[in-house]
Amino acid sequence: MLEARGQAHLLRWWDELDAAARARLLEQIASVDWDTVALWNAPPVFSARGAVAPLPVLPRTEIEARRAAFMQAGRAAVHAGKVAAVLLAGGQGTRLGAHGPKGAVDIGITRSVSIFGRLMENLKEAACLCDVVIPLYIMTSEENDAATHAFFEENAYFGYPQQAVRFFRQQMGPCVDLQGKVLLEAKDRLAISPNGNGGWYTSLERAGLAREAESQGVEWFNVFAVDNVLQRMCDPLFVGATLLSGCATGAKVVRKACPEERVGVLCLENGLPTVIEYYDLSEELAQLRDERGELVYSGGVILNYLFRADALKAIASVRLPVHVVKKKVPYLDESGVLRDPAQENAYKFETLILDMIRCAGSCLPFEVVREHEFAPVKNRTGTDSVESARKLLQKNGVEL
Ligand code: UTP
């Protein structure tokens, strides 16, 4: 099989391996999804787009006008235990270059303030507002699972009831070199990386936690990224607006600051809600303005989504598109030496949560105030860095 797929090099050191190492390697090879690996040189997922149209954003003015009704519906749902929080923390944070989980990064100045700590403060606020302990599911990866657990232990779960916090691991996938050959990171081990945030629900199911949540009455999952330190989860206003809209999903969006801003835009494609990544949106659509001079495609997603539990079952049965991402991956060279490349030398395969929105069929784009809810930490310096996030936190009165 490996020969037929051009991957026989994976057995290069077979003769040197003892029985246990051979068994480990074979088990790992058997778990590879080879159809996905074969996509390494396929054209980009969205090389051909359908008919794109705007999806109107629920604007702040309307949200404020209907605040009381949204709050009432949202608080009642959260209070009744119908909403769970899902923290996506399985990413590698390669751009930030931090060792260990991204959530453990200290963004404090005069005191220690971790990203996880900030998020837990916001979760506690929502829990307090709705007078309930909100269940929290944290997705980790094989790489950072132990360290994430340990961090929560060391910090006494940031004062949140420990029994309400559950961890689950996402799946991993192999990395290939720029010729499509699967890389090894040891003689008996493939180089693997987390398979993207689109697998969160299948991983939650595999861990038995989706069923557990539903048996406890959870009807909605509020899924959010670890790396927005102003992230507001289980926010009753958002929950209420989504519930009352009748949509199967909701997405918090910010008004794009400029046509070039690097955020995905929520719109319609062939009549279905779709997030188009900034690099896939044509220049013409990115620049398009309405009669008031506002950007038509303006709803930028910030990775904070609500999913209705019944819609997730249908989504889980669909095969999401696979995105091929270039990255730097340490690998064993032909002489058996571990190399840490200076340049991107590999592809990894990811499915993305934003593609789940399309499968759900309906989505409410809910506008949030950027300065209050969007402070991403992606890069070491400059835009979306610890430095820029600190400034935004301080503007929001957070002492660092
Ligand atoms: P990013 O797309 O920014 O990826 O993740 P990343 O791996 O954290 O960072 P880079 O690209 O290597 O610099 C957005 C969110 O999705 C989560 C991340 O933890 C973050 O909350 N994520 C990403 C996962 O949980 N699993 C993945 O496989 C990828």
Quick one: which of 268, 237, 258, 308 has its CA closest to 63? 237
Q: Residue 97 — very low, low, confident or very high, per pLDDT cuts 50/70/90?
A: confident
Is residue 47 pLDDT above 60, yes or no?
A: no
Architecture of the domain made up of 3-395: Alpha-Beta Complex (3.90)
Query: Probe ligand 1: pick from 140, 168, 227, 302, max atoms within 8 Å of CB?
Result: 227
For 47, the token pair is 């090389």
Q: How far is the CA of 3 from the centre of ligand 1 (A)?
A: 33
Residues 143-190 pLDDT 10s: 999 999 999 999 999 999 999 999 999 999 999 999 999 999 999 999
Cα torsion through 20, 25, 31, 37, rounded to 10: 180
Residues 181-215 pLDDT 10s: 999 999 999 999 999 999 999 999 999 999 999 99
Q: Report the C-alpha gap between 188 and 13 in whole angstroms.
A: 8
Query: Which residues make Cβ contacts (< 8 Å) with residue 106, sequence separation at least 6?
Result: 112, 113, 114
Is residue 211 within 8 Å of residue 369, measured between CB atoms? no
Ligand 1 atom with minimal separation from the 195 CA: 28
Find the length of the chain: 400
Domain ranges of the chain: 3-395
Is residue 49 pLDDT above 80, yes or no?
A: no
Mean pLDDT of 64-81: 98
Q: How far is the CA of 91 from the centre of ligand 1 (A)?
A: 3
Q: Concatenated DSSP letters for 202-234?
A: HHHHHTTHHHHHHHTT--EEEEEETTBTT---S
Ligand 1 atom with minimal separation from the 90 CA: 25
Is residue 263 within 8 Å of residue 302, measured between CB atoms? yes
Q: Please count the CA atoms within 13 angstroms of the CA of 358 that sit on its side-chain side.
A: 20
Mean pLDDT of 226-243: 98
C-alpha torsion sign, points 241, 247, 249, 254: negative
Is residue 137 within 8 Å of residue 166, measured between CB atoms? yes
Query: Which residues make Cβ contacts (< 8 Å) with residue 238, sequence separation at least 6?
Result: 74, 222, 232, 250, 252, 304, 306, 366, 368
Is residue 323 pLDDT above 60, yes or no?
A: yes
Query: Probe ligand 1: pick from 119, 172, 197, max atoms within 8 Å of CB?
Result: 197
Q: Report the C-alpha gap between 187 and 191 in whole angstroms.
A: 10
Q: Residue 294 — very low, low, confident or very high, per pLDDT cuts 50/70/90?
A: very high
Q: Residue 46 — very low, low, confident or very high, per pLDDT cuts 50/70/90?
A: low
Is residue 140 pLDDT above 80, yes or no?
A: yes
Return the HEC string of 85-117: EEEECCCCCCCCCCCCCHHHCECCCCCCCEHHH
Q: Report the C-alpha gap between 232 and 244 in whole angstroms.
A: 20
Q: Concatenated DSSP letters for 34-74?
A: HHHHGGGGSPPTTSS---EEE---B-HHHHHHTHHHHHHHH
Question: 395-398 contacts: CB < 8 A, separation 24 or more?
Answer: 395/371, 396/230, 396/371, 396/372, 398/113, 398/118
Model pLDDT, residue 94? 83
Residue 22 identity (one-letter amino acid) = R
CB neighbours of residue 16 within 10 Å: 11
What's the chain's average pLDDT? Answer: 95
Q: How far is the CA of 44 from the centre of ligand 1 (A)?
A: 19
Please report, in angstroms and rounded to a whole number, the separation of the first and last CA atoms in the chain: 55
Model pLDDT, residue 42? 84
Model pLDDT, residue 279? 82
Is residue 48 within 8 Å of residue 184, measured between CB atoms? no
For 45, the token pair is 């997922």
Give percent of the chain with pLDDT exceeding 70: 99
Model pLDDT, residue 48? 59
Give percent of the chain with pLDDT exceeding 90: 92
